[in-house]
Structure 1
Amino acid sequence: MTSLLDTKTMHPRDQITVVMRRIYDRVLTTTSGGNLSIRDDDDNVWITPAGVDKGLLKPSDIVCVKKDGTIIGDHSPSSEYPFHLAIYNRRPDIKAVVHAHPPGIVAFSIARQVPDTRVLPQVRSFCGEIGYAPYAMPGTEALGHSIASQFNEGVHIVIMENHGTVIGGSDISDAYQKFELVEVTAKSILYGSKLGKVKVLEDSQIDGQLKQYAKKLPDAAAGNPELSSISREKRTEILKIVKRACRQGLLLGAYGSISTRINEDEFLITPDAISKWDLTLEDMVQVSYGKKDPGKNPDHSVLLHQAIYKQHPDINAIIITQPTYLTSFAITGARFNVRTIPETWIYLQDVQTGGFGCQFDKENGLLSMISQDSPVVILKNECTIVTGNKLLQAFDYLEVAEFSAKSLILSASLGDMIPISDNEIEELGKVMSRWKNYEWKM
């Protein structure tokens, strides 16, 4: 089964199977929990079956409920089919529905609260406000009415009281990306509350930040469409890291960017508005001398990547992302103490926290914070930026930083964190260059 999702050419049963496998492999549903559906151009609904292992779902297991109510398939449709149909009847713009019980969202569901998407500009922009549906018995028309009435208000995401979440999208990729992003956001808020007070942005701050990112690069002149060997090699490097990062939850389909330098004035970067799960070599965008590949759209953070490369010739790879635990520090502004274990201190040295919007401050902003000795910077209510001499090195720093962030959050329930002492740090300094300058191969 292919891991790429092409909503334009793949049959609905294949699309559903790919997305359910992602959800299950990311531990966002259980063997029996959740259901997915797609409404095709003929108003038939393709939906996951009842009583079939979600971890081993096959295209042949998917059930079709025809417009006239006829059921085609080897199984019965999901018992939750009524609320899928209720959503489609209310919202002609919705073509796919994702329903599951991921732990972060369920935590809000059973506390009868809704995560505030204003903690991060990109989440607010992509997910919007979240609706809340009062409890009703699963599989009933009452539940369908409760959920559909919320979708009737224009939202795409609904928290189901004491149940889970249901998300609608323009296609199943869009619905999945919203699902993944809101679950990570919910977890970040939950973990962040262990560190301090979670900060919520004003609408004016969000609008201003999104406008900053809206600035574009001009197109380069049309050139040879054939990829050079070095360009193809770099694209392959990025693609390998993107897939690993998505599987590990270090990069999200809807948010994050990765770039790698080709030479002093050229770099490759992931594109905008394409799910990171489904990137191909040809999707990567080359930026040369301040201009982009014609007809392609690099990630909205491209100008930031360009500025970092220009300011720091020793940096050859950049990852910008919002993984769960580091984002918990971003939305609270809590101090990230690197003196946890030797590897964390040696590799990361000093993880600085920059103010909201500091990446646009040319005088005292991000560019003055980041360096070889400070490869990771957390931006308040934004993201984490990781750099390295090589792409694999930057990815390793990201893994180390996220693991360390998780350990710090988990330790909060045990008491105060006890850092490595000054004497121990001094001893570590003697071996630091040997560890940190390891020649990564990729």
Structure 2
Amino acid sequence: MRYEYLHPRDELVLTMQRIYRYKMTTTSGGNLSILDENGDMWITPTGVDKGTLTPNDIVCVRADGRIEGLHKPSSEYPFHKAIYAARRDLRSVVHAHPMALVAFSIAHKVPDTKLFHQAWRSNGAVAFAPYGTPGSEDLGVKIAQKFEEGFDSVILENHGVCCGGKTLQEAFQKFETLEVCCKILIKAHGLGEPKFLTDQQLQLQSKSDVPIDSFEYDPTMMTIREKDLRNQLCKFIERGYRQGLLTTTTGTFSARIDSEKFLITPYPLDRHSVLPEDLVMIRKGKKEFGKHPSRAVFSHKALYDAHPEIGAIINACPVNAMAFSVCHRSIDTYTIPESYVFVREVSLLPFETVFNDFAALTATLALQSPAAVLCNNGVMVVGQNVLSAFDKLEVLEHSAEAVLDAQPIGGHVAMSQKIIDDLIEAFHLERPAPKPSASRSRTRSRSR
């Protein structure tokens, strides 16, 4: 969706609906605003159900202070006004009370966004503003001071969070990414001590924005297979977002068209709504003219070149799998038959692998070993087709969540080697190469 074409009242409603639908605020909590080119502020109202908000409910506070609309502006209007006065570069503010960020708020802690590169790239360092009474000028001064110091994301003591951006979608991305970062940290502490990216690793990621030669793409030459794959990818990307496997800023999908071509998600991309024409064709190492592929394009190309049987690849950062990723642990699939049969043995690869060690990547991932945890970089799965890869991603995330949920009740009981041998025989699976027992995560598991 091209949000820049929407009127502020429509964009505010769509964004609030998204925040409410994904349980990042309550009926009464949270407020959004947009400052337009005339200096008028469009803001969500006070006392209106967030679940049934309409464009007619949005309030406009004119630059001269006049209020237009059916309702009063949000009670937090004072801090929105203060932020815009402190930061002339910002044109939108998002404030809400999502659960993980509230947990940090009431614990008086600030998340380290160097946990994974998208969080750091989106938010940078995060500030903490001391408590102020909701709706007061005092709270506005305290929050605006942090924004004036250069922060774009501020956790409010015993309150929630406030994020600012040049557009509403930029502010929302910061908000959503920060909430996911907090969720991952909370989950990770159930496993052990999360690890963070070094400045050198963050620079390595930023250097992956390498120019790619282009070719002139002619849509009239599109085959039925390409059309089918473009639509399949869009459906699964949107489903992945709805199910929390992706976020606005995280997740790359690709699908092979033939031996010379594949489709891949573009960069940047809002995973909430993807159109077939947004996807980028890569042909013989060149991209469609005028489009920018995901920065994972080279690692995907390496896998397609090395394994002709691979038909689809997914990178993702779902919360539970990410807990293992940031603790540098693999995910044990010796849990239930579905996990082992579909995902097999899950490897653990260093952060740098997808940037500069394609030999290790292609030696690790194949249809017989379709999943890997990437340290501080999520997970990567491959499949014969888009459905197969997506299924493996779902199973992997569900397996990770089950293992984490078992921790408070004593840890999971791993299936015995005899059960694994029976599964290999029953489902005609290829027997994996022998690995040291320590290579498989034993997160408080108890062997049979």
TM-score by length of 1: 0.94
Q: Distance in 1 between matches of 2:90 and 2:428?
A: 54
* Residue 81 of structure 2: aligned partner: 85
* Residue 399 of structure 1: aligned partner: 394
Query: Structure 1 residues 264, 89: CA separation in 2 closer, same or farther (over 3 Å shift)?
Result: same
- Quick one: which amino acid aligns to residue 382 of structure 1? N
Cα deviation 1:350-397 (Å, max 9, x = unaligned) = 111101201234475222111112111111011211111110111111
Q: What is the count of residue pairs matched by the alignment?
A: 429
2:131 is aligned with 1:141: no
Q: 1:256 offset after TM fit, Å?
A: 1.5
Q: Distance in 2 between matches of 1:158 and 1:141?
A: 17
Q: Distance in 2 between matches of 1:227 and 1:174?
A: 33
- Quick one: which amino acid aligns to residue 397 of structure 2? E
Cα deviation 1:296-332 (Å, max 9, x = unaligned) = 1011111111111111111111111111111110100
* Residue 420 of structure 1: aligned partner: 415
Q: Distance in 1 between matches of 2:398 and 2:176?
A: 20
* Residue 351 of structure 1: aligned partner: 346
Q: Distance in 1 between matches of 2:52 and 2:65?
A: 27
| Native 8 Å contact 1:196 1:334 kept in 2 | no
Q: Select the residue among 353, 364, 372 that pairs with 2:367.
A: 372
2:259 is aligned with 1:282: no
SS of match in other structure, 1:276: coil
Q: Select the residue among 367, 378, 381 that pairs with 1:383.
A: 378
Query: Structure 1 residues 373, 87: CA separation in 2 closer, same or farther (over 3 Å shift)?
Result: same
Cα deviation 1:376-425 (Å, max 9, x = unaligned) = 11110112111111101111111111111111111111113211112222
* Residue 103 of structure 1: aligned partner: 99
* Residue 74 of structure 1: aligned partner: 70
* Residue 205 of structure 1: aligned partner: 201
Q: Select the residue among 127, 132, 140 that pairs with 1:131.
A: 127
* Residue 109 of structure 2: aligned partner: 113
| Native 8 Å contact 1:96 1:169 kept in 2 | yes
Q: Select the residue among 216, 221, 224 that pairs with 1:229.
A: 224
2:230 is aligned with 1:254: no
Give the superposed CA RMSD: 1.5
* Residue 432 of structure 2: aligned partner: none
SS of match in other structure, 1:77: coil
| Native 8 Å contact 2:310 2:382 kept in 1 | yes
2:289 is aligned with 1:273: no
| Native 8 Å contact 2:403 2:411 kept in 1 | no
Q: Distance in 2 between matches of 1:431 and 1:175?
A: 51
Q: Distance in 1 between matches of 2:314 and 2:29?
A: 33
* Unmatched 5+ stretches in structure 1: 435-442
- Quick one: which amino acid aligns to residue 389 of structure 2? A
* Residue 437 of structure 1: aligned partner: none
Q: Distance in 2 between matches of 1:178 and 1:418?
A: 38
Q: Distance in 1 between matches of 2:330 and 2:267?
A: 31
Q: 1:222 offset after TM fit, Å?
A: 5.0
Identity value in percent: 41
Within-5 A mapping of 1:176-191: 176-191=172-187
SS of match in other structure, 1:194: coil
* Unmatched 5+ stretches in structure 2: 430-448
Query: Structure 1 residues 85, 226: CA separation in 2 closer, same or farther (over 3 Å shift)?
Result: farther
* Residue 440 of structure 1: aligned partner: none
Q: Distance in 2 between matches of 1:216 and 1:314?
A: 28
TM-score by length of 2: 0.93
Q: Distance in 1 between matches of 2:371 and 2:240?
A: 16
* Residue 438 of structure 2: aligned partner: none
| Native 8 Å contact 1:29 1:101 kept in 2 | yes
| Native 8 Å contact 1:353 1:378 kept in 2 | yes
Q: Distance in 1 between matches of 2:219 and 2:406?
A: 54
- Quick one: which amino acid aligns to residue 79 of structure 1? S
Cα deviation 1:58-88 (Å, max 9, x = unaligned) = 1111111111111111111110111111111
- Quick one: which amino acid aligns to residue 63 of structure 2? K
